[in-house]
Amino acid sequence: MATEDQDTARTTSGEEVVSPNTPSAMNTDPINVGHIEVLQILNEHGEVDKGLDPKLSNETLMRVYRAMVLARAFDQRMLTMQRQGRMGTFAPNIGQEACIIGQVTPLTRDDWYAPSYRSFGAQIVRGWSMEHLMRLWAGFHDGFPPPKDVNDLPFSIVIGSHVLPAVGIGMGMTYKKQNNCVVVNFGDGASSQGAVSEALNFAAVYKAPVVFVCENNGWAISTPIKKQTANEVFATRGISFGIPSIRVDGNDILAMICATEEATKRAKNGEGPTFIEAITYRMSLHTTADDPSVYRDEKEVEPWEKRCPIARFETYLKNKGLLTADAIQEVLESCEQEVIEARDTFYSMPPANPGEIFNHLYESIPEELKEQREEYFRRLKEKGIDYE
Ligand SMILES: Cc1ncc(C[n+]2csc(CCOP(=O)(O)OP(=O)(O)O)c2C)c(N)n1
Ligand SMILES: [Mg+2]
C-alpha cells in the first residue's frame, strides 16, 4: 500500500522508480508505470510469486475459477443474443473477469456491493440469477431491483453516481456499529466525475468502511486514459484524499482477491477506506452500440490477449494439479449449459408490463405524467400492444 508520504515506492518486481509523468505506451508495459507499486502475484505466464501466494483452499480456487469461466460464457451468450435482436444493449466484460470476480470474493452476504454496469460476473457471485440479469439488460424494469436478501445496489449506468450512496451505506454501518463493509466499483472515466471526488473525501474524513475499486481498463468509450488523467495513474486520486491506495494487476485473480481482502479487513477494523486501482483492459466493445475500430488501433489489444486472466489462472491451477485439459473442457461445457438454461428460462418468461414504469416514482401520479401514460398506451395500441 502506498500513501502520500510513500510515493517513491518501487514496483513489486523491484524495477526502477518511474516518474509519474513518464509517458508509457499501452502495448509495452502498461502495468508498471507511475510511481506506485503494483501488486502482482500471478504473472501473465501463470507463474506464481511464492512469497505472495495467499494459498487459498482448493475449494475456493476452483469456485473462483468457475465464476470467471461462467462470467465469460454469460458474456459471449449475451453478445450472441444481442446480435440476434433478442437482447438489449449490453456492456461486455471480456478480459476483465479476474478484476470483477476478485473484488467480491472476500465479501460476506452481510457486506454490500455497489456495482457499475460492467459487473454481471460479480452480480452472479452475489446471488443474481442469470435470467434476472437478462431481464435487466433486455430493459424490463423488474430486472433492476436486487434479489431478496442480496445486499447490492442496482447497477449504475449514470457513471460515478452510485459511489456517494455506497459511501452513505458505509457511514450508516459505522453509525449502527455494524462490522461490515461496502465494495464499490467504477471506471477510469467515472473517476473524473465530481461525485466520485465528493465520495472519496467523505469516506476519508469519516473513515467509512468502503473499498473503492477503480477499474482502469484503458478506455472510457473512446476516451483513452491519457486524456482522462495527465498522471497515468489513478491510485493518486485516492492518495490525494488521504486514502491508502494500491495499484493491482487487475488480470491477476490472486492479486485482486488479496488486495480486496486486505481492504475489507481494514474497513472492518475501523481503519477506513481503501482505494484499489485495478489495471485491466477492455478487450471488446464498450457496449454493443459501439465500434472501437473507429477510434483505437487493434494492435493495442494484442498484448492483452497474452494477459488473459483466465488462461494464466488455468496454468496456475494445472501446476497445482487441480486442473487438466479435460477438466477445463468440463467446466466450460457446464458453464455454457448453465447459461443456455438461463437463456431458455428468460425466453419463457412473460415480458414486463411497460405501463409499470410509471408506477415507481410517485405515490400518486401527477396529472402530467398520467397524460404521458395515456399517450404511451395509445401509441402501444397502435403497434398492436395492449397492456392497459
Ligand atoms: C454521468 C454520465 N455521463 C456520461 C455517460 C455516458 N457514458 C456511459 S459509459 C461512459 C464511459 C465510462 O467509462 P469508464 O468509467 O472508464 O468505464 P468503462 O465503461 O470503461 O467500464 C460514458 C461517458 C453516462 N452514462 N453517465
Ligand atoms: Mg474504462
Q: Are 185 and 116 in contact (CB under 8 A)?
A: yes
Q: Do 362 and 287 lie in a common domain?
A: no
Answer whether residue 21 is part of any domain: no
pLDDT at residue 171, rounded to an integer:
98
Pair 223, 106 in one domain: yes
> Ligand 1: which of 221, 229, 234, 304 to mutate, judged by most atoms within 8 Å of the beta carbon?
221
For residue range 70-79, what is the model confidence (pLDDT) as tens digits? Answer: 999 999 999 9
Query: Atom 25 of ligand 1 has which residue's CA nearest to it?
Result: 158
273 and 369 fall within a common domain: no
Check whether residue 208 and residue 338 sit in a common domain. Answer: yes
Check residue 322 and give its pLDDT: 98
Q: How much is the mean pLDDT over the chain?
A: 91
In the structure grid, which three cell numbers stand for residue 157, read together?
Answer: 449506468
Sheet holding 210-216, edge to edge: 38-39, 245-249, 274-279, 210-216, 182-187, 112-114
What local confidence, expressed as pLDDT, does residue 36 receive?
Answer: 75
Q: Which of 94, 103, 159 for mutating ligand 1's site (highest number of atoms within 8 Å of CB)?
A: 159
Residue 126: CA count within 13 A, CB half-sphere: 32
13 in any annotated domain: no
Query: What is the per-residue pLDDT for 388?
Result: 62
Residues 155, 123 contacting (CB under 8 angstroms): yes
Are residue 72 and residue 156 in the same domain, yes or no? yes
Cell of 47: 507463474
- Candidate list 45, 83, 109, 295, residue with the active-site label: 295
> Between the ranges 37-41, 137-141, 252-256, where is the mean pLDDT highest?
252-256
Q: What is the pLDDT of residues 215-227, one digit of tens each?
A: 999 999 999 999 9
Tell me if residue 65 is catalytic: no
Letter string b/e over residues 341-368, b meaning 16 or more CB atoms within 10 A of that residue's CB: ebbeebeeeeebeeeeeeeeeeeeeeee
286 has catalytic annotation: yes
Query: Does 379 reside within a domain?
Result: yes
Task: Encode pLDDT of 165-182 as tens digits.
Answer: 999 999 999 999 999 999
CA 161–ligand 1 middle distance (angstroms): 11
What SS3 class is residue 118?
A: coil
Distance 88 CA to ligand 1 centre (A): 17
User: What is the pLDDT averaged over residues 132-139?
Assistant: 96
Residue 360: what pLDDT?
80
> Does residue 23 fall inside a structural domain?
no
Q: What amino acid occupies position 41?
A: I
Identify whether 29 is part of a domain. Answer: no
The pLDDT score that the predictor gives to residue 33 is 63
Domain that holds residue 173: 38-348
Other beta carbons within 10 angstroms of residue 169's beta carbon come to: 22
- Catalytically annotated residue among 35, 118, 266, 282: 282
What are the beta bridge partners of residue 144?
A: none
Element (H, E) at 377: helix 367-382
Tell me the longest C-alpha to C-alpha distance in the chain. 68
- Considering the domain architecture, whether residues 285 and 369 belong to the same structural domain is answered as no
Do 72 and 187 lie in one domain? The reply is: yes
Instruction: Kindly state the average pLDDT of the residues 122-140.
Output: 97
Same domain, 290 and 361: no
Same-domain pairing of 309 and 367: no
pLDDT at 25 (0 to 100): 32
My answer on whether 252 and 370 are in the same domain is no
The sign of the CA dihedral 50, 55, 56, 62 is: positive
Cell digits of residue 317? 491451477
The pLDDT value given to residue 3 = 40
Residue 23 has pLDDT above 50, yes or no: no
Q: Are residues 69 and 201 part of one domain?
A: yes
Q: Which of 32-36, 264-268, 270-274, 288-292 shows the lowest mean pLDDT across its residues?
A: 32-36
Judge whether 88 lies within some domain: yes
Q: What is the pLDDT of residue 359?
A: 84
Tell me, what's the pLDDT at 66? 98
Looking up residue 206, the CATH number of its domain turns out to be 3.40.50.970
Tell me what pLDDT residue 289 has.
Answer: 97
pLDDT exceeding 70 applies to what percent of the chain? 91
The predicted model gives 87-107 an average pLDDT of 98
DSSP state of 185: E
pLDDT band at 31 (very low <50, low <70, confident <90, very high): low
With respect to residue 15, please indicate whether it lies within any of the assigned structural domains.
no
Total number of domains in the chain? 2
CA of 216, nearest ligand number: 2
Residues 144 and 286 in one domain: yes
pLDDT of 15 reads: 36
Q: Please indicate, yes or no, if residue 87 is contained in any of the structural domains.
A: yes
Find out whether 153 and 114 touch, Cβ atoms under 8 Å: yes
Q: Output the ligand 1 site: residues, CB below 6 A.
A: 118, 157-159, 187-190, 215, 217, 219-221, 282, 286
